Amino acid sequence: MGANDELIIDLFTSREIITHDQAEEASRYAKEKDVTFIEALDELGVMPENKALMLVASEYGMDTFDLSDYTIPPEVVQLIPPDVARRYKIVPLFKADDQLVVGMSDPTDLETLDALRHIISHDVEGAVVSKKQLKEALNFHYGSMEESVNTFLEDITEGVVDVSEKTAMDDVYGDETSTTEEDAPIIRLVSLIILEAFKNRASDIHLEPLEKRFRVRYRIDGVLNEVESPPRYLQNNILSRVKIMSKLDISEHRIPQDGRIQISAMGRELDLRVSVIPTTHGESIVMRILDKSSVMLGIAELGFLSDDQEVITRILSMPDGLFLVTGPTGSGKTTSLYAFLNTINKPTTKIITVEDPVEYEMSGINQVQVNSSIGMTFSNALRAMMRQAPNIIMVGEIRDLETGEIAINAAQTGHLVFSTLHTNDAPSAVSRLVDMGVKPFLVASSVKAIMAQRLVRQICSKCTEEYEPDITQLDALNLPHDYFAGNKLVKGKGCADCKDGYKGRIGIFEIFVIDEATQQLIYEGVSASKTRRHARSIGMRTLREDGLRKVINGMTTLEEVVRVTASDEMDEFESA
């Protein structure tokens, strides 16, 4: 039924235009067939649609308008942008003096007229047209939804994705029992946007309303790439479809919302974490693609070289203590933690995690979702977890003093604890904990190792070619111009498999194992710079040095190391 059908029912029954029995029958029919009350009256033979519209229009001081033999002037059509016409389901009819008359099928929708007066800065009045004529006029003057979407699909799928692969598409559609034939093109379009992102190994999909266009971008290997974007007037339909899939409130446009989509695509189980935020020109949506298969990574697949693998294996075999992974947002900290848990996940070990949110579900591990709105905070969850007698605990992030103290207490009472911090390098994590208010002696006695990391793009193995390092890049890294003498550096030249010479990402790491001398420095409360110098003296490689080793090993390029370690400083250089 229509949004304001109750008003029409009251009008017709109170004036005895129809009987109460006829109203009830038409109401049931409208709900069953998903049509308006006036359409139901017409289809049931109770009253012709044009007569019913005339009665309602008269009640609201409007005229009816027949579009069958009328041609809307092109200059009038241009007064209403396509996205506005489709959003409010109106067509401009004619202009008299400074007043624009628009056709609408629901004369009770006075809010639409108010909105139009604000949007186009004209005095707007309504005239009632049939729903069928309105739809035909919208399609004729602004292009049909089906035609627009199909044209766009043809453009972006040529040689890329076969949209006739029904099994893959149906998996993304999900349960569509409540959708109509008119919705189908948008469902197909959103499904294809998601499939294209997955096929191109994107980690995020960005749907961004701009002033004059609607932009779609994929983040591939950490770099945003703009792709062919749909027409702007499809913007609201696309955003609404994503919100429906995420089980969000499609009527709310003023506040941020977060949701989740769980789908199967091309035989893979995917989770999409959806973030919606209002912007100047509409709601911006980012969908983070979480591929469940990525939690099955091993340590070697993260990008560790053999010597660092041995160090990590020793850390993971510790009976207790706190192991911190640091780095900015998007540096792969969660992926590393899951890979570590996957490595030590055994039937004889009880592992509990507390996360916000739980990004990946892992078999054999007890995972707890933080929900601050009901009091399930990191600290409360940690207290409860301690009564579960776990062997290993993972805390998604240490955000405050209370969480830090509980995690450290767990590390001192026979538990191996993993967690993350937002610091730029490994030694700075010590100062961060102390700055939070954790006592230095607790930090010194509980923290066993700290690892900082970044992600760099990996060279495509199918199109490598040798190259000479650029002097400007060497200068940017403060490297001697002969630093790579005797080494053959390679890069990807770009091929059908990778397009830009890179395929996938690996980590570069800075592993700081706490020794007795380090513990003494923490007791004394020395500065982060002194702690860092000591870490270097006992063999800690910096992020940049590890990156340079991977350049020499043909895993990444000098350009990538410059990009992700631009702010790092090195005290000395060592040949790998």
More confident residue, 359 or 68: 68
Q: Secondary structure of 102-129 in the HEC alphabet?
A: EEECCCCCHHHHHHHHHHHCCEEEEEEC
Q: Quote the CA–CA distance of 232 and 208 in Å, as a whole number.
A: 10
The confidence score (pLDDT) of residue 567 equals 55
The confidence score (pLDDT) of residue 553 equals 93
Which residues have CB under 8 Å from 206's CB, separation 6+?
A: 215, 216, 217, 218, 219, 224, 284, 285, 286
Over residues 290-321, the pLDDT tens digits come to: 866 666 677 888 889 999 999 999 999 999 99
The confidence score (pLDDT) of residue 159 equals 40
Query: Among 78, 137, 81, which residue's Cα sits nearest to residue 105?
Result: 137
More confident residue, 231 or 296: 231
Q: Is residue 225 within 8 Å of 457, Cβ to Cβ?
A: no
* pLDDT at 388 exceeding the cut of 50: yes
Q: Give me the sheet containing 90-96, strands edge to edge.
A: 63-64, 123-128, 99-104, 90-96
- In the three-class reduction of DSSP (H, G, I as helix; E, B as strand; rest coil), residue 558 is classed as helix
Q: Which of 264-273, 403-412, 414-423 has the lowest mean pLDDT?
A: 264-273
Q: Tally the residues of the chain.
A: 576
Q: Quote the CA–CA distance of 339 and 333 in Å, as a whole number.
A: 10
Query: What's the maximum distance between 2 C-alpha atoms anywhere in the chain?
Result: 97
* pLDDT at 238 exceeding the cut of 60: yes
- Cis amide linkage into residue 357, ω under 30° from 0: yes
State the alpha helices, DSSP H only, in 174-267. 184-199, 235-245
The confidence score (pLDDT) of residue 335 equals 87
Query: What band does 571 get if pLDDT is binned at 50, 70 and 90?
Result: very low
The confidence score (pLDDT) of residue 313 equals 94
Query: What band does 152 get if pLDDT is binned at 50, 70 and 90?
Result: low
The confidence score (pLDDT) of residue 122 equals 76
Arithmetic mean of pLDDT, 540-548 = 93
Over residues 21-72, the pLDDT tens digits come to: 888 888 888 888 778 888 888 888 888 887 888 888 887 888 888 888 888 8
* pLDDT at 153 exceeding the cut of 80: no
For 220, phi then psi, to 5°, come to -115, 120
Arithmetic mean of pLDDT, 352-362 = 84
The confidence score (pLDDT) of residue 183 equals 62
Q: Name the strand (E) or helix (H) holding 218.
A: strand 214-220
% of the chain residues with pLDDT over 70: 89
The confidence score (pLDDT) of residue 168 equals 42
Over residues 164-210, the pLDDT tens digits come to: 333 344 445 444 444 555 567 788 888 888 888 888 889 899 999 99
Q: Is residue 65 within 8 Å of 50, Cβ to Cβ?
A: no
The confidence score (pLDDT) of residue 161 equals 40
Query: Among 242, 183, 185, which residue's Cα sits nearest to residue 208?
Result: 242
Could you give the C-alpha distances from 529 to 274, 281, 427, 508, 513, in angstroms and in order? 39, 45, 8, 21, 16
Positive or negative CA dihedral for 494, 497, 499, 504? negative
Q: Quote the CA–CA distance of 489 and 277 in Å, as a whole number.
A: 44
- In the three-class reduction of DSSP (H, G, I as helix; E, B as strand; rest coil), residue 493 is classed as coil
Arithmetic mean of pLDDT, 72-89 = 82
pTM over 0.75: no
Rg of the chain over all Cα atoms, to the nearest angstrom: 31
Summary mean pLDDT of the chain: 84
- In the three-class reduction of DSSP (H, G, I as helix; E, B as strand; rest coil), residue 68 is classed as coil
